[in-house]
C-alpha cells in the first residue's frame, strides 16, 4: 500500500493498495510511480 500525507497535522489518504511487486513494478497511479522514482516533495 502507498499512503500519502499531504501536510503535517492533516489526515493522509490511501493512494494505492495491492501486491508489493505490482506496486513497485507497474503501479496504477502516477503519484505512486513518482514517489517510487523519487519524484516527490
Tens of pLDDT, residues 1-41: 888 887 788 888 999 999 999 999 999 999 999 999 999 76
Give pTM, 2 decimals: 0.74
Taking residue 7's Cβ as centre, other Cβ atoms within 10 Å add up to: 7
- SS3 state at 18: coil
pLDDT of res. 5:
81
Amino acid at each position: 500500500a502507498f499512503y500519502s500525507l499531504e501536510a503535517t497535522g492533516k489526515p493522509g489518504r490511501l493512494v494505492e493498495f495491492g501486491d508489493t511487486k505490482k506496486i513497485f513494478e507497474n503501479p496504477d497511479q502516477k503519484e505512486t510511480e513518482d514517489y517510487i522514482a523519487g519524484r516527490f516533495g
